[in-house]
Amino acid sequence: MDRSLFHLLDQDQDLSQCKWTLVNGPVIVGAGPSGLATAACLREEGVPFVVLERAECIASLWQKRTYDRLKLHLPKKFCQLPRLPFPEDFPEYPTKKQFIEYLESYAKHFDINPKFNECVESASYDETSGFWRVKTVSNEVEFEYICRWLVVATGENAECIVPNIEGLAKFGGEVIHACEYKSGEKFQGQKVLVGCGNSGMELSLDLCNHNASPSMVVRSSVHVLPREVFGNSTFEIAVLMMKWLPLWLVDKLMLILAWLVLGNIEKYGLKRPSMGPLELKNTKGKTPVLDIGALEKIKSGDINDVPGIKCFSYKQVELVNGEKLDIDAVILATGYRSNVPSWLKEGDFFCKNGFPKAPLPHGWKGNGGLYAVGFTRRGLSGAASDAMRIAQDIGKLWNDETKQHKKIAIACQRRCISQL
């Protein structure tokens, strides 16, 4: 056993009395796409690991908190994880079910077996010993994992945001967050108030398809781009142009293409931000909305876009322009946030908002063996890139330590033989 671990045990009486284990490799917190990608890359590097997951399944966000009609917004080649592409017979934009099947086959392929129902209560770094202490609770049983390296893979969307809106408690109708929405079937014939954004527009479209009457709240300016331009992925076009052109010019060209395909969207109440879509994504993390049919419903009046909310009353909402609408249900498409500050006891690497402080592309590695994957605001491709960097870095350190331990063991063996 490492001398520094003996020192840790001597210092902490609580640790010597509780259930704990030493992990010969990193602990990865989170078994979503980011955690699975990191585990797979570590497996390829020959580094052992432990994956902790608070839910009872992998990719719980995808399995439990997404709507039925969801498809990947980007072509599959931009969403695949390292070392294993999507099956060739999958469509260009895989469905939710297909993506979950892919993740499950990915975990099986790389022999990734997370410890489920392990909720991380805290993780702190012991500077004296150089170990991370990760405390979990599973079925009311406390446990502690001790490791050299900690990989935070809980992602950008760990917790849903529920705003405090005046009068919402008195509304009297059904109020759910977008993460609880599965299908518009149960809202048939109802007037439903929905937030804007990628999920808000898709939910509004789904409600229309189930004969509901959605009103979509557009609180601020938003970039709406077509998912495809003349049969080609908008995202792929932007990626290709970024190889040769400056960002500001790509932004201008993307907006020209959007105008050619979608027309002038501002006359329908959708005001564009002054900052271009790619610059806004890179600097503020605000993703442009990729339209897959909702805009046509807005143009036809099937989706009614309205300004911000002032307050609620019984079965009614008052908007900031003074207009009042009678509604039956509210879907809060108000987004998600990172939960890292609630459990990671560290203040140098992560901000209070749960994102790394370092700008791209340096936000994947901190001090003391701390790593972050899936916080780049660049989706699955960003997570895949982080995972490969992290695995290579840990792999080099792990192999160096392994070689050093072997040298020590050989030296001890030779000393023993010489004394015989």
For the chain, give every domain's residue range: 19-158+338-413, 162-201+208-217+296-333, 223-287
Yes or no: is domain 162-201+208-217+296-333 CATH 3.30.230.10? no
263-272 in b/e burial notation, b at 16+ Cβ within 10 A? eebeebebeb
pLDDT band at 14 (very low <50, low <70, confident <90, very high): low
Q: At what angle do helices 33-45 and 96-109 cross, to 10 degrees?
A: 20
Positive or negative: CA dihedral 31, 37, 41, 44? positive
Question: Cα dist. 408→358, 360, 396, 403 in Å?
Answer: 37, 39, 19, 9
User: Amino acid letter at 165?
Assistant: I
Q: What number of other Cβ atoms are within 10 A of residue 352's Cβ?
A: 9
pLDDT of 283: 82
Rounded mean pLDDT of 124-136? 93
DSSP state of 80: P
In CATH terms, are 19-158+338-413 and 162-201+208-217+296-333 the same topology?
A: yes
Q: Which fold has domain 19-158+338-413?
A: FAD/NAD(P)-binding domain (3.50.50)
Q: Which long-range contacts (CB under 8 A, 24 or more apart) does 318-326 make?
A: 325/191, 325/193, 325/215, 326/191
> For residue range 197-224, what is the model confidence (pLDDT) as tens digits?
678 889 999 999 999 999 999 888 889 9
Strand partners, 115: 52
pLDDT band at 413 (very low <50, low <70, confident <90, very high): very low
Contact predicate 225/198, CB 8 Å: no
Contact predicate 166/159, CB 8 Å: no
For residue 30, give the nearest of 124, 114, 132, 97 by alpha carbon: 114
Contact predicate 194/200, CB 8 Å: yes
pLDDT band at 161 (very low <50, low <70, confident <90, very high): confident
Q: What is the mean pLDDT of the chain?
A: 89
